[in-house]
Amino acid sequence: MPTFEYTALDTAGARVSGALGGASESAVLAELETRRLTPIRVREKREKTSLRRGVPARSLASSYIQLGDLLVAGVPVMRSLTLLSRQKSSPRLSGVYRTIAEYVSDGGDLGEAMSQHPDVFPKTHVAMVSAGEKGGFLEQVFQRLGAFVQGQAELRGKLMGGMIYPAVLVVFGVAILSVIFGIFIPKFEPLFQRLDELPAITSFVLGVSKLISGYAWLAAILIVGGVFGVIALRRSPAGMRQLAVLVNRLPLVGALTRDIAAARFCRMLGTMESNGVPLIQAMNIARDAAGHLLLEEAIEKAIESVRAGEALAPPLGASGMFSEDTIEMISVGEAAGNVDHVLLNIAGAIERRVDHQFSIGVRLIEPLLLAVIAVVIATVAVSLILPMMQLSGSA
């Protein structure tokens, strides 16, 4: 039985929150009424439905595309599922499709069969498949799902791949400088004691060396404490929100995370809308997939406004999480009745902008890190050469 999280008002008007088990949202609403609570928000408790249990996103996308192509070619659903279950490229995914084929052969719905594997098929995919199954356009759903998952995997891979080289530079740079300041420079200090006065740059470098070698343990404690502090904050709703607010206020990083979350929301909502998923249901699912707490709060307010018969764009614009041109395009799409296409176009534009900005940022970070390392090493070299010249001159 699923669990639903709720926020409601009691008879005194105070806001209360909790969780209830129920067969459906309607059953939970009825239970709240019996408790004399006025519901404000009721939603199914989110499960961690990632693709990290042996089913890569690219494999899932490929299976969707193959399934869509088979259906377009006129191959029956059962035959298509059986063919996918025989593939050996992903044994776990083949086993899942085998189980689904058995469920469908017994008269079950495909969407219901997929929902029994939440570790493989996220709720967004299940909702789109169920809508396509009822509307008779299942082949289009799988083709669009395949393109969607593949696009998300490529964007994620590009972002992660672009950060590998800068991360390697940072690790090696820190290691090299730690050895220089912690081990190499202290060996010269006894030699320089013969001089009455050291050059300013040499005194500075020796001071930094003493600081690093003498308080390295303190830096390690602070780093470990910071990591555990962030983990502790992430375990509480209040802490998660504080972290989200902090990241959102960071220059460049805040705008980048907002854009990525906005693109994910727009593409998810546009894809489900174009596949016949009801708007409220689509917004609930897209909200859970946004991956940004502040954006989820803004979408929650938008859901309440849409449920009350209002437009989608104004509450999204009031949140400050979307740019003005994005809100304007959504308003135009609502007026023209093609908001699904507009949302997909917005997602594509944001993803291209993020990709461009990220590529430029990565290209700038690499030479900047190399320049910083070079400047530090040159400073150390000069700080050691100058007193050595004084010593040789006095000799």
Res. 257: pLDDT tops 50: yes
Give me the DSSP letters along 325-348: HHHHHHHHHHHHT-HHHHHHHHHH
Res. 52: pLDDT tops 70: no
- DSSP category for residue 12: T
CA distance 265 to 296: 9
* Beta-sheet pairing, 15-21 with 38-44: unpaired
pLDDT band with cut points at 50, 70 and 90 for residue 45: low
Res. 82: pLDDT tops 80: yes
For 300, phi then psi, to 5°, come to: -60, -45
Q: Which of 122-131, 298-307, 384-393 has the highest mean pLDDT?
A: 298-307
pLDDT band with cut points at 50, 70 and 90 for residue 51: very low
Q: 302 near 320, Cβ under 8 Å?
A: no
For 323, phi then psi, to 5°, come to: -70, 160
pLDDT of residue 115: 86
When the pLDDT of each residue in the chain is averaged and rounded to a whole number, the result is 81
pLDDT band with cut points at 50, 70 and 90 for residue 50: very low
pLDDT band with cut points at 50, 70 and 90 for residue 146: confident
284-296, pLDDT tens digit by residue?
Answer: 877 776 778 888 8
CA distance 226 to 136: 53
What does the block give as tokens for 147? 């393109």
Candidate from 68-77, 160-169, 342-351 with smallest mean pLDDT: 160-169
Q: Of 326, 352, 152, which is closest to residue 316 (Cα–Cα)?
A: 326
Q: Of 293, 271, 292, which is closest to residue 283 (Cα–Cα)?
A: 271
Tell me the mean pLDDT in the region 236-252.
77
pTM of the model: 0.60
Tell me the mean pLDDT in the region 6-35.
78
Res. 53: pLDDT tops 80: no
